Structure 1
């Protein structure tokens, strides 16, 4: 039996701020936006060029802010120019960590935090 991972769901509080983060800071595109006003939620699916997994943003209209569980760590994104992306993120309003390398090695990643507190590891593409 073949199995394919197709989506990862993030529950979000501010749809506009989250869409700005993923579509303007990164180059994700909105694949679809389904509204369910009778149930008071929206589902937005984001595509990243070249990826087969979508991010599903679940926006509940009347929800309190979510608590991210202590078992969740981060999502990962690769970029062709790590240093340039780091500069872009540092110049943004988003919390951005320093460039780091494993075991003190050559810097190969950093973390940036989205509006809902989800951490994104940005890594150098191989």
Structure 2
């Protein structure tokens, strides 16, 4: 077995696609439209990775209540400081670099158009 994809529900498909492509260079790997059922599924992958992020767009949704649970996806990078700086310059909603007790800064969070938090971590 292996992980296949993670789904996030989005209220504005174009805004979400723009964010994930600009922030992380995601590429659209496939799309499935179901107009008769009023939803579209768009699958995104990072270059060189087959794990997919599924954006589910329900035509009639006004948005989603994310609740107070703390779930997130994580994306790793070899250049944490460089990516953080480019996200800051692009005016994305990000946190400062953070660290766990006793270790140097190794992660930060960026927020997508729907309010989902994405953890950006240093490659191990």
TM-score, structure 1 as length reference:
0.91
Structure 1 unaligned blocks of 5 or more: none
Corresponding residue to 2:37 among 36, 39, 60: 39
SS in 1 for 2:71: coil
TM-fit CA distance, 1:92: 2.1
The one-character-per-residue Cα deviations of 1:52-104 (angstroms, maximum 9, x if unpaired) are: 32111000111021011333421100111111100111122321000011115
The one-character-per-residue Cα deviations of 1:39-64 (angstroms, maximum 9, x if unpaired) are: 11110001112333211100011102
SS in 2 for 1:106: coil
Distance 1:112 1:73 in 2: 13
In 2 relative to 1, CA 104–95 (structure 1 residues): closer, same or farther, beyond 3 Å? Answer: farther
Structure 2 unaligned blocks of 5 or more: none
Q: Which residue of 2 aligns with 1:94?
A: 92
Distance 1:72 1:10 in 2: 14
Distance 1:72 1:11 in 2: 16
